[in-house]
Amino acid sequence: MELAGLLREAAPVMLAGAGYTLLFAVASMVGGLALGFPVALMRLAPWRLVRLPATLYVSAMRGTPLLVQIFVIYYGLPSVGIEFTPVTAGVLALSLNAGAYLSESLRGAIRSVSEGQWRASFSLGLGWWQTLGYVILPQALRVAVPSMSNTLISLIKDTSLVSVIALTELMLATKEVIAVTFQPLPLYLAAAAIYWCLSLFFEALQRRAERRLNRAHQPR
């Protein structure tokens, strides 16, 4: 089969898989942010008993391979009576992993805001949560955006690992086409090109978000 015909035949299946890849990555990013923000605040707490579980979680997630985490959730937990569908297990594993990295990005961004901002806000009568929401986070977000965008781009690539639990995404779709056509090299290269295009798209969004945040913080 000629290359053009092969790619035409494979495109619908692979692009559908890419759509699922994007969906899983975005869902995992949302889950990671929902987990990473409170973990970041726990890591910033002055009490060791609050910091300790958050520190252990971040260390465990960053110190073990994502593939092992997927296996533990999907194959290991059923042995103790906890079962997940492939979609739930895949998104949960990706969210837990991303949450650890996002918490560190957010923690570093929050700490980058000077103590004087906190003191000035308290002197104006703002409470801790008001200061965090209205003063600290808007400044921290500008610092955190590049790192958070990198995490999202990594998630897009990491979704390829969930194919091991038969979760349909770009890599599994590519393997299914290869099983029929017996043309691994052009199809794997095509899959790599799709991953690259998705990454380039989010890199462009990152640059646009950075420009908007920089303009918003410029003095008028």
The residue ranges of every structural domain in the chain are 3-216
pLDDT at position 218 is 59
pLDDT at position 52 is 96
* Each residue's pLDDT tens digit, 181-219: 889 999 999 999 999 999 999 889 888 887 887 776 655
Query: Does the structure show a pLDDT above 60 at 49?
Result: yes
Q: Poorest-confidence range of 19-28, 94-103, 130-139? A: 130-139
Categorize the per-residue pLDDT at 67 as very low, low, confident or very high, splitting at 50, 70 and 90: very high
The terminus-to-terminus CA distance of the chain in angstroms comes to: 62
CA distance 46 to 52: 11
Q: Any idea how long the chain is?
A: 220
Closest listed residue to residue 97, CA positions, set 74, 129, 66: 66
CA distance 67 to 117: 41
pLDDT at position 53 is 96
pLDDT at position 191 is 94
CA distance 180 to 10: 10
* pLDDT (mean) for 122-148: 87
Report the CATH superfamily, name and number, of domain 3-216.
MetI-like (1.10.3720.10)
Higher pLDDT, 104 or 141: 104
- Three-class DSSP category at 47: coil
DSSP 8-state code for residue 217: T
pLDDT at position 85 is 93
DSSP 8-state code for residue 60: H
Taking CA 113 as the corner, what is the angle to CA 207 and CA 150, rounded to the nearest 5 degrees?
30
What pTM, to 2 d.p., does this model score?
A: 0.88
* pLDDT (mean) for 72-98: 95
CA distance 172 to 164: 8
Query: Does the structure show a pLDDT above 80 at 132?
Result: yes
CA distance 133 to 30: 19
